[in-house]
Amino acid sequence: MVFEKRKNLPQQGFHMEITFYKYQGTGNDFVMIDDRSEAFPERDLALVQRLCDRRFGIGADGLILIRNKQGYDFEMIYFNADGSQSMCGNGARCAVAFSKFLGIIDQRTSFWAIDGAHDARVAGDWVELGMRDVLSLSNAGVDFFVNTGSPHHVRYVENVADYPVFEEGRKIRFSSEYAPGGTNVNFITPLSEDELYVRTYERGVENETLSCGTGVTACALVYGFQNQLNEVNIKTPGGNLRVRFTKAADGSFTDILLIGPAEQVFEGKISVQ
Ligand SMILES: N[C@@H](CCC[C@H](N)C(=O)O)C(=O)O
């Protein structure tokens, strides 16, 4: 793979060989790097963008650095493909699987992410990820908004399979209501009393992704709240996930678990200059 000469080199003579692992969680895919040596120049967002580029780089929805963190098994630093940072539910499940692969953890872990501490459990190819508590859902016109570690707008639509997710998602993502940071946008259609079909336009990828973990969590909380459920099965274009939670009397949500597969797809080396 030949790179164009990177224009904004951090310093002359910059050259780096990176060993990476490609992971995917229900089609949400990530470049995963064991960066416990802290060698990766995380402020070089052009490098992050290049590595996530599906033509000039490895290609991914996001990039994740695994680093040491006092008091925790590891820290996960997540970048969207455009270099912006947020919490990533599918990425966190993949980070847990990767940390088991590296021998950092066994079956259970407590790790740090941008939104705070998370517990998780590895169950075969699946990972059960503890999400941060959610204090409340909000109305957004006739739709809903909830922050599950990253911001999510949730809209019910008649048939999400045929819905123009990219066009309608961009309108909401860039609308003045969400300026300046924007939001992720999820469109949902119930398939049965405890199952949803969810498609997501993702901020920072600026496209529909095959699934979004914090997004399906947001959708499950909205649907669960309206239908007195504490477990919702989610179908996405990238695969199936499950969300469990406890709804407290004050309207908050605790004990939230995002459950789904996390798979290592390939290992590689890439030379960047
Ligand atoms: N795909 C992720 C969400 C990543 C962050 C999101 N794009 C944002 O910028 O808020 C997930 O699985 O949660």
Domain assignment of residue 232, yes or no? yes
212 catalytic, yes or no?
A: yes
What is the average pLDDT value for the chain, to the nearest integer? 94
Q: Domain residues for 33?
A: 16-119+262-272
Q: Which tens digit of pLDDT belongs to each residue from 14-57?
A: 678 999 999 999 999 999 999 999 999 999 999 999 999 999 99
Looking at the fold, whether 112 and 171 belong to one and the same domain comes out as no
Number of domains observed in the structure of the chain: 2
Evaluate if residue 203 carries a pLDDT over 60: yes
Question: Domain for residue 40, yes or no?
Answer: yes
Question: Domain of 48: which CATH number?
Answer: 3.10.310.10
Query: 7 lies in a domain?
Result: no
| Residue among 31, 85, 88, 93 whose CB has most ligand 1 atoms within 8 A, to mutate | 88
Specify whether 96 is located in the same domain as 159. no
Pair (207, 115) in one structural domain: no
* ipTM of the complex, rounded to two decimals: 0.91
Q: Is residue 126 part of a domain?
A: no
Specify the pLDDT at position 92: 98
| 243 and 178 within one domain | yes
pLDDT tens, position by position, 90-122: 999 999 999 999 999 999 999 999 999 999 999
- Is 151 found in the same domain as 110? no
In a shared domain, residues 210 and 110: no
My answer on whether 182 and 255 are in the same domain is yes
Whether 200 maps to a domain, the answer reads: yes
Residue 52 designated active-site: no
For residue 50, tell me if it sits in a domain: yes
pLDDT beyond 80 at 212: yes
Name residues contacting ligand 1 (CB within 6 A). Answer: 28, 80, 84, 86, 88-91, 150, 184, 202-205, 209, 212-215
Separation of CA 4 and ligand 1 centre (Å)? 28
Q: How does DSSP assign the chain, residue by residue?
A: -PPPPPSS-SSTT--EEEEEEEEEETTEEEEEEE-TT--S-TT-HHHHHHHH-TTTSS--SEEEEEEEETTEEEEEEEEETTS-B---HHHHHHHHHHHHHTTS-SSEEEEEETTEEEEEEEETTEEEEEPPPB---EEETTEEEEESSSEEEEEE-S-GGGS-HHHHHHHHHTSGGGTTT--EEEEEEEEETTEEEEEEEETTTTEEES--HHHHHHHHHHHHHHTT-SEEEEEETTEEEEEEEEE-TTS-EEEEEEEEE-EEEEEEEEEE-
Check whether residue 88 and residue 63 sit in a common domain: yes
pLDDT of residue 11: 52
Together in a domain, 242 and 267? no
248, part of any domain: yes
Q: Would the pLDDT of 2 be above 50?
A: no
| Residue 110 belongs to some domain of the structure | yes
